[in-house]
Amino acid sequence: MSILDRLRAISIDHVRLVLLGAAAVSLLVLGGSLIDLASHTDQQPSSASAAAHASIDPAPSSAGIAARAEMRQKIETELAQSPEYMHFFDRLKLVFPAEYDTIIDSFAKRAAANGETEDIDAMMSEAVRALRLSHGVLAAKANGSVLQQIFSMQLAIMQALSTTNQQLCVDFLYGGASQDFYHFSSQNRPLVANMALAGLEAINDGRTNRVERSAPNESDFQLLEKSLRDQGLSNAEIEALLDGKTSDPPIPEARMCQVGQIYLQTLASLPDETRYRLYGLAVELMARS
């Protein structure tokens, strides 16, 4: 059943509440732009789109095949210079070998055409996005503890951003993208790699265990809003989270960064069944975005 079908199954009187709750759940999902930046800032096609068009590409010459093979070897050597990133790619190769080959081959094809390889942070970003688009929906069926790790890592990212640049922290909360994120990524590769691994492990766990969860219900979203109020969030701050509203005067960046962290911490404190239903919806939205 699609997300829209699930929402339609809920009483029409509460559709707005549910949609607002879904928007709130998706805020930090969209924040994944930190490791999805290539899709926003690069003009080159992603690995996923490159793979989709591979069938219409002319067959490469023997020289082209050799050039791609050489570039593939060079790319894997460059990735190995970042043990954190290489850990992700090694795990990807083990659990999704076909996806790994598609991604690395697309990098090699572009590198052979351009005469040089791409920045490894950009390649990491593209790999995460390609995996999310091809298999991300499976993460919604992962065991709860595995699913939660995605959001634990998002909180860790926000906490790191809060000490670096408050604007970046708020951009992450709302899914903004800028070249500044590349700098953060290059300076925080272990953190970024762990966030990517959390998503990969959830996808793999969901593929294996196929946990079925119902959609979040009205009570889940009401509990989320009440819990946010109990944590001291004002009406304006809750509306900024649930409604995407900009208050007048605007909420200071430092406070909004803190509000985002409180939001994730609040989600983590909800009862298991409620929390996992909300998490499941969030990763389903992520896979379809």
Tens-place pLDDT, residues 108-125? 999 998 888 888 988 998
Q: Which of 23-32, 124-133, 247-256 has the lowest mean pLDDT?
A: 23-32
pTM beyond 0.85: no
Closest C-alpha to 107, from 78, 83, 148, 141: 78
Q: Which amino acid is at 207?
A: R
What per-residue confidence (pLDDT) applies to 203? 95
Reported as a single tens digit per residue, the pLDDT across 73-105 is 999 999 998 999 999 999 999 999 999 999 999
Distance CA 138, CA 189 (A): 25
Distance CA 250, CA 21 (A): 22
The answer to whether the beta carbons of residues 200 and 206 sit under 8 Å apart is no
Distance CA 192, CA 58 (A): 36
Q: Which residue has the higher pLDDT, 178 or 103?
A: 103
The answer to whether the beta carbons of residues 266 and 228 sit under 8 Å apart is yes
Residue ranges of the alpha helices (H) in 31-178?
38-41, 47-52, 62-80, 83-95, 97-114, 120-135, 144-162, 166-174
What per-residue confidence (pLDDT) applies to 41? 44
